[in-house]
């Protein structure tokens, strides 16, 4: 039996702190007028103290799980798309997994620039369609503000921080991902890059002095690439799905530049009232931009059951990705698949995996509690062990 994907949960998180174009006017030689006219951006969000890609991803994921009505432990896979992980090693995906309390659930990060979420969504669908997994969490989270040179007006005005997440579940009802296209053109890998900090140029003084740990971009080259792939990839996925642009209720493009979005919409013949735009409030949040736009579109009631939606993105690499997603009714029938249609060995395997994961989580929670309880004892014995006898002071000789 064919298995389909269904988005059953969605959530987003953006930091409180707003950085407006007027704030940027005080930092670099720019103006609100230039930024609005050339990009459509008015403000972006920037992480505050204690916030990172990990914390934003966890907040967005918790919300998505809540909407889906499932526990973290019920997930079969976590895919965290990001180009700004908390650490180079380990993957931020396992940190997110631990914070969610989904210990045991496989988790990996996916790097495809701003297209990461699109790649993640398609990968999630493959696991579901093959019958390997039933519930996949796909996250797009990015702290681009830490990779931006705040003295470079050509890039710093463009980006913002944020995270979005969706829960993708198996379904029997036809719908979900109807067609997709993933693409890459590595010949232009250096059109958008961070020159140092990796193996090719490990951290050194030159990296610090020349700020080679920040984004370098050939804006015009990326602009040309973006307008072409957004239009062509969208057109191809719509045709592949056997539809026409008129059948698409909403276009959700990567929010990189309003001019790119308007150009693509015009070429595709989409009126702007069928295009999701929130770049004015968040800027380019990289791989978080499409899930954030999706969440806002859903919250604004712009996607209804039965609608066809196109999501399309592009980014560093250079990469691109597009899907047609058919929005099914919210109610999920995954349980029906599990109980009635699965062969007995697979059902047993699924139950076993759940029990094993629960046992694992319980063990981790217990050992954490035990460690906490033992800390005072450990500190005390440690001190005892370390207690060195005071050196005896030389006798005081009284002067006569
Ligand atoms: N404020 C004021 N002036 C600025 C500026 C800023 N923030 N940034 C650049 N300028 C200046 C340039 O120095 C240039 O001046 P000059 O003509 O005296 O040399 C002028 O504005 C025009 O620069 P240009 O690069 O041609 O502008 P543009 O219209 O191409 O817009 C981008 C620049 C970056 C907004 C645009 O190219 C773009 O959006 N590219 C795609 C980037 C993208 O999407 N990246 C993310 C991919 S995921």
The per-residue pLDDT for 11 is: 98
Q: Provide the pLDDT for residue 333.
A: 46
Range of weakest confidence among 6-10, 147-151, 329-333, 374-378: 329-333
Query: What's the longest Cα–Cα distance across the chain?
Result: 110
CATH number where 206 lies: 3.40.47.10
Q: Model pTM?
A: 0.85
Distance 153 CA to ligand 1 centre (A): 8
Better-scored residue on pLDDT, 213 or 329:
213
**What are the tens digits of pLDDT across the range 246-300?**
999 999 999 999 999 999 999 999 999 999 999 999 999 999 999 999 999 999 9
Domain presence at residue 31: yes
Beta strands in the chain (DSSP E): 4-13, 18-20, 43-45, 77-81, 107-110, 135-142, 162-171, 176-184, 192-193, 216-217, 250-253, 308-315, 319-326
Number of domains in the chain: 1
| CB 160 less than 6 A from any atom of ligand 1 | no
Q: Please give the number of the atom of ligand 1 that sits closest to the Cα of 153.
A: 7
* Residue-range definition of the domain harbouring residue 115: 4-326
Task: Judge whether 331 lies within some domain.
Answer: no
Ligand 1 probe mutation, 19, 142, 219, most atoms within 8 A of CB: 219
Q: Is 150 in the pocket of ligand 1 (CB under 6 A)?
A: no
Token pair, residue 15, equals 């930091």
**In-domain check, residue 15:** yes
Q: Which atom of ligand 1 is nearest to the CA of 156?
A: 7
Report which ligand 1 atom has the smallest distance to the Cα of 314: 48
Please check whether residue 372 lies inside any domain of the structure. no
Q: How confident is the model at residue 377 (pLDDT cuts 50, 70, 90)?
A: low
Query: Nearest residue CA, atom 32 of ligand 1?
Result: 219
336: in domain: no
Q: Which of 125, 156, 254, 326 is catalytic?
A: 254
| Residue pair 186/251 in contact by the 8 Å Cβ criterion | no
Judged against a pLDDT cut of 50, whether residue 78 lies above it is answered with yes
Q: How far is the CA of 155 from the centre of ligand 1 (A)?
A: 8
* Residue bearing the bigger pLDDT, 71 or 386: 71
Report whether residue 154 contacts ligand 1, using a CB cutoff of 6 Å.
Answer: yes
Q: Give me the numbers of helices (H) and strands (E) for the chain, helices first please.
A: 13, 13
Ligand 1 centroid from CA 279, angstroms: 16
In angstroms, what is the span from residue 219 Cα to ligand 1's centroid? 6
For 240-255, give the DSSP string.
HTT--GGG-SEEEE--
Asked if residue 141 has its Cβ within 6 Å of ligand 1, the reply is: no
């Amino acid at each position: 039996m064919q298995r389909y994907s269904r988005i059953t949960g969605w959530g987003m998180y953006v930091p409180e702190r707003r950085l407006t174009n007027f704030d940027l006017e005080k930092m670099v030689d720019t103006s609100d007028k230039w930024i609005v006219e050339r990009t459509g951006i008015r403000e972006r969000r920037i992480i505050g103290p204690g916030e990172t890609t990990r914390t934003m991803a966890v907040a967005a994921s918790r919300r998505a799980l809540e909407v889906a009505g499932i526990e973290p432990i019920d997930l079969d896979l976590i895919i965290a798309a990001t180009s700004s992980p908390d650490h180079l090693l380990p993957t931020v995906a396992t940190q997110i997994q631990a914070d969610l309390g989904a210990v045991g659930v496989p988790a990996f990060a996916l790097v495809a620039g701003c297209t990461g979420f699109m790649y993640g969504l398609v990968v999630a669908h493959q696991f579901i369609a093959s019958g390997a997994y039933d519930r996949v969490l796909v996250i797009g989270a990015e702290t681009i503000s830490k990779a931006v040179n705040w003295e470079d007006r050509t890039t710093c005005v463009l980006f913002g921080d944020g995270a979005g997440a969706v829960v993708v579940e198996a379904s029997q009802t036809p719908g979900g991902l109807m067609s997709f296209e993933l693409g890459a053109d590595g010949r232009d890998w250096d059109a958008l890059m961070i020159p140092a900090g990796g193996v090719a140029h490990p951290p050194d003084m030159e990296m610090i002095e020349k700020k080679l740990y920040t984004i370098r971009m050939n804006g015009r080259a990326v602009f040309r690439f973006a307008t072409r792939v957004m239009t062509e990839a969208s057109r191809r996925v719509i045709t592949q799905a056997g539809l026409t642009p008129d059948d698409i209720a909403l276009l959700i493009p990567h929010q990189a530049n309003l001019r790119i979005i308007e150009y693509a919409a015009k070429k595709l013949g989409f009126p702007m009232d069928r295009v999701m735009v929130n770049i004015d409030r968040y800027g380019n949040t990289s791989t978080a931009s499409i899930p954030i736009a999706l969440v806002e579109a859903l919250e604004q009631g712009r996607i209804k059951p039965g609608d066809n939606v196109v999501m399309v993105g592009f980014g560093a690499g250079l990469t691109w990705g597009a899907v047609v997603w058919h929005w099914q009714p919210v109610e999920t029938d995954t349980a029906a698949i599990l109980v009635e249609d699965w062969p007995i060995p697979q059902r047993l395997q699924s139950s076993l995996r759940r029990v094993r994961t629960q046992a694992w989580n319980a063990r981790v929670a217990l050992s954490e509690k035990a460690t906490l309880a033992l800390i005072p004892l450990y500190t005390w014995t440690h001190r005892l062990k370390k207690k060195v006898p005071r050196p005896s002071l030389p006798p005081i000789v009284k002067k006569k």
